[in-house]
Structure 1
């Protein structure tokens, strides 16, 4: 019996490879044209299809150019070096820059610990580590447009942000610039999500970070998601002072108030109880908003007669939609703990 031939290696399009590496398709075509570092096969003689070996060479080129090697020299080195074998086969150990000042490079010792994630998250991480701001902005916009803000946040943006935080925690101050650049561009990209027309008659949702809390990206993601659904939002951002928070609740009369706390040091339960007790309107027809506590700072047992604990952006959207579009304003008392905006 003739031996069964091995299955063909999976091949990716230029766009998919660009997203994976965090570079633009134009850059890949330029490298192919100038340095002959292109795919081994094409479909119908026109469409480029990149195999794992092709991608390994591109990764090596990215590592070298990120260390400051001129593209022409990086291409020669990538083409001359042994290509990595598919997963499971022995691999050659690529040359690394010596010493403690090793560059932060995509795919090398400076790679972010992402685990099993979408290819778009790996591409975003590579671009962030290279401090390639245009690529970071482009990849974020593409993820939000293609997948929508909920999936983009949960499966691409949040995993990358968490990986940066873990790397920063384990590498001292080495990754602070990566975290700052990525965070700034994530915030900018979320602000570029176009809100839909607000639904007629819908009562707004108030979003704010508690006093002293400067980590606002998760609640910015919630604001983008609610705006995209046409749900009215009053967003007050990071570190809203306590009295300003209480005034904002009285003046807006929100259907729900979402308070974000990243750290236990900022999670003020006394303030939460005071906000939950705020009423407005005429005597005999007083209103009160549901209080939703979001973020790891509150812990898992923060729900009670005055508030509900929230986890996860996707389920939180359903909870808030039910509150805003329900038949009548609801209070936090007596409701089962839902899952909503977490990070």
Structure 2
């Protein structure tokens, strides 16, 4: 294998070094844990700036990455640190996919993603709930809800789903822990104050559908836009859905279907035809279908499909006659 540096990198150029916080987000380890490992197991960086600030080189990160993989497989922390220190790791292993120590079968198939995704996935595989929570809150604070969802949270969830599907009954506990922490993080997003008498947006999963995280993200994002929301969550029965539309007179109804087996096109047509309000002044809600279960064209011309969180927000904001807040 050719191990020469890329052409644009001068052979003698010093490798970039990262701060402890940046490495923590990348690997899914809290800064406190990293400092504890450095004190107990001498698994810290080889250089510091001004004798105080830790700066992690690619070789330092590769060594720490190996330790994280070993602990995720159940190797005791002290033994994992000993093995990591003894490895002669390529300084470019972190920067160049496919080089360095093999990742093994306990990592998630993430592909090309933000470093935060890998850190979040590693913490989830270790069932390290406090670190998962910290990483989620950091991503939401630094990137905003929409970018954090589209570029950090959703790719990690999708990778977890692929891993679970290919590993039988393994990793179910990892998926449950990650899903719970994501849901909790979304519920911690505080909505902006808005008009309390404005028609709401009604969000619900179709009957039989238990996957709620995408519409929980939409609910949190609409709250940030100061748009009132009525969230009904998983598997809302058809009769209850009809009653909720008539009682609330929503601006729009968003129906989520994760799979084609739950996407009921007859139900969509019936919801689109519901009228509400006083006789002589009746109105109808816009019906928006969201989720991969709704394949093909919409059931009728007055029903619209939503594709992704960011574009979905734009569609709903247009229906509400508001200008979406930049996210």
> Which segment drifts farther, 241-250 or 282-291?
282-291
Partner of 1:205: 201
Q: Could you tell me how far 1:256 is from its partner in structure 2?
A: 0.3
Determine helix, strand or coil for the equivalent of 2:293: helix
Q: Could you tell me how far 1:108 is from its partner in structure 2?
A: 2.9
* Residues 196 and 229 in structure 1, CA contact (< 8 A), matched pair in contact too: yes
| Whole-Å separation in 1 of the counterparts to 2:195 and 2:296 | 33
| Whole-Å separation in 1 of the counterparts to 2:295 and 2:33 | 46
| Whole-Å separation in 2 of the counterparts to 1:228 and 1:8 | 43
> Which segment drifts farther, 126-135 or 34-43?
34-43
| Whole-Å separation in 1 of the counterparts to 2:175 and 2:49 | 40
| Whole-Å separation in 1 of the counterparts to 2:100 and 2:230 | 55
* Residues 202 and 325 in structure 1, CA contact (< 8 A), matched pair in contact too: no
* Residues 189 and 220 in structure 2, CA contact (< 8 A), matched pair in contact too: yes
| Whole-Å separation in 1 of the counterparts to 2:300 and 2:52 | 62
CA deviations 1:103-135 (Å, max 9, x no partner) are xxxx43211000111111110000111111111
| Whole-Å separation in 2 of the counterparts to 1:200 and 1:69 | 54
Partner of 2:190: 194
Partner of 2:228: 232
Partner of 1:322: 318
CA deviations 1:278-318 (Å, max 9, x no partner) are 11122322111100010111113125323111111001101
Q: Which runs of 5+ in 1 are unaligned?
A: 95-106, 328-343
| Aligned pairs for 1:190-339 within 5 A | 190-199=186-195, 201-302=197-298, 304-325=300-321
- Pick one of 36, 43, 49 that aligns with 1:43: 49
Q: Could you tell me how far 1:260 is from its partner in structure 2?
A: 0.4
> Which segment drifts farther, 222-231 or 191-200?
191-200
Q: Which runs of 5+ in 2 are unaligned?
A: 1-9
Instruction: Give the TM-score, by structure 1 length.
Output: 0.86
Q: Does 1:58 align with 2:73?
A: no
Name the Cα RMSD after superposition.
1.9
| Whole-Å separation in 2 of the counterparts to 1:123 and 1:290 | 39
| Equivalent residue pairs, number | 312
* Residues 262 and 293 in structure 2, CA contact (< 8 A), matched pair in contact too: yes
| Whole-Å separation in 2 of the counterparts to 1:115 and 1:203 | 41
Q: Does 1:86 align with 2:82?
A: no
Q: Could you tell me how far 1:199 is from its partner in structure 2?
A: 3.2
Instruction: Give the TM-score, by structure 2 length.
Output: 0.90
| Whole-Å separation in 2 of the counterparts to 1:216 and 1:89 | 33
Q: Does 1:122 align with 2:118?
A: yes
Q: Does 1:70 align with 2:76?
A: yes
